[in-house]
Amino acid sequence: MSAPLTLAPAPRVGMVSLGCPKALVDSERILSRLRADGYAFAPDYAGADVVLVNTCGFLDSAKAESLAAIGEAVAENGRVVVTGCLGHEADMIRAAHPKVLAVTGPQQYDAVVGAVHAAAPPVPSPYTDLAAVKLTPPHYAYVKISEGCNHRCRFCIIPSLRGDLASRPAAAVVREAHELVARGTRELLVVSQDTSAYGVDLGHAVSAWRGREYRAHITDLARALGETGAWVRLHYIYPYPHVDALMPLMADGLVLPYLDIPFQHASPPVLKAMRRPANEAKVLERIARWRSVVPDLALRSTFIVGFPGETEVDFQYLLDWLEAAQIDRAGCFKYEAVAGAAANDLPGAVPEAVKEDRWHRFMAAQARISAARLAAKVGRTLEVIIDAVDDAGGASGRSKYDAPEIDGEVHLRDCSGLKPGDIVPVLVEDADEVDLFGVPA
């Protein structure tokens, strides 16, 4: 009788993932590669043979958060590999935390996997689970369709961190989407640096999967993703003219009536100083045209106040534009200099106290707009995807107009029996400036 097979324990990897959803997708790819190499994953520092910290390096505040996370990992575990956007500043990381084992930059998947191999060598096993790793709940997933960006906005260093636009073949994206849906994903969140520009670098080339050809263009891709039957939510859209072609897809229910557009400002002089498209009048006309086709279109955006040279006139222009555009959800950032950004050399620095005042005024104006737009939904029945349930018969989820973690929620009562991932009709009974409240219809 042969001796029972004894397998060596798999080395365990811990992960701290910081930054935007695009970085989260990078973390998923890294962990998927490591799982294929036989690694297991640890939920805490104590159980990990090595800890990966995927950093953000866009703003000084994000850099500080990343350095703090690295320091915590070094103190709690001691065997730390750093990757991500802050990895471009390896000397700074090593000066702050000389005990880190390795530092790699964003998208350097081979390098970071190699560093993990060196720190905790893999144990080959014929029983390795090759399923891809997801760091989101099972019912939704981020799908990254491209890397990099061709814009050269003065406040941004993304092109120097991640390079120019590099789109994935359309067939590869469609295949990933179908695999996710087959595994139970109900919502696909499309992310990139510039989703509207998807496929430009490929000349909108055609690629094939399962006997069907797919063109690398955002309209074609959105239609193909919608055909999976999942909710499809588009992030990081720039308001180029061809975005108009997405509206019929939303009207037909193939794509959610939701656009995440980083407007950043509205005043033409400020947009010009930022090196962003500056004709805000045409943008307002475009928004009105979109809403004529999709009346319940939800817009979310981000804005910057206190950019060098911004005057009180510019800021008031932004507030007036915000009122005209009726943005459903908006975040606002006080401008801060970023090492390597062209904006650092601009004159007209805005005092911090003025930035603070404008930020509060912006947020107050947006809160009024958001509250009014949510109040208009009271009495309607909306489809809601359930994110969490509690033991008291309550649940929380999101309507088609809300992305996870960055927008509001729908809080439900009297809904026992629901589970995360269910999509149910909900009668909206009340609203505040952030969330909706209701009951299953």
285-294 tens-digit pLDDT: 999 999 999 9
Residues 356, 266 share a domain: yes
> Considering its fold, how many domains does the chain have in total?
3
pLDDT tens per residue, range 374-389:
999 999 999 999 999 9
β-strand partners of 258: 298
Residues 370, 249 share a domain: yes
Residues 434, 311 share a domain: no
Taking alpha carbons only, the member of 269, 28, 245, 264 closest to residue 144 is 28
Residues 109, 229 share a domain: no
Handedness of CA 416, 421, 425, 428 (dihedral sign): positive
| pLDDT value of position 223 | 98
Residue 4 lies in a domain: no
* Residue 32, domain CATH: 3.40.50.12160
Residues 296, 202 share a domain: yes
β-strand partners of 399: 384
pLDDT of 5 above 50: no
Domain hosting residue 86, numbered range = 12-119
Angstrom distance (rounded) from CA 381 to CA 379:
7
Residues 191, 79 share a domain: no
Residue 127 lies in a domain: no
Task: Give the residue from 88, 119, 150 where a domain finishes.
Answer: 119
| pLDDT value of position 58 | 77
Residue 331: pLDDT band (50, 70, 90) is very high
Joined tokens for residue 403: 């992305």
Which pTM was predicted? 0.86
Taking alpha carbons only, the member of 84, 82, 111 closest to residue 98 is 82
Residues 416, 340 share a domain: no
β-strand partners of 81: 52, 102
* Residue 337, domain CATH: 3.80.30.20
How many CB atoms neighbour CB 193 within 10 A?
26
Residues 283, 183 share a domain: yes
pLDDT tens per residue, range 352-373:
999 999 999 999 999 999 999 9
Residues 89, 176 share a domain: no
| pLDDT value of position 1 | 46
Residue 124 lies in a domain: no
DSSP state of 107: T
Task: Give the residue from 74, 90, 119 where a domain finishes.
Answer: 119
pLDDT of 278 above 90: no
Residue 6 lies in a domain: no
CA 65 to chain centre: 18
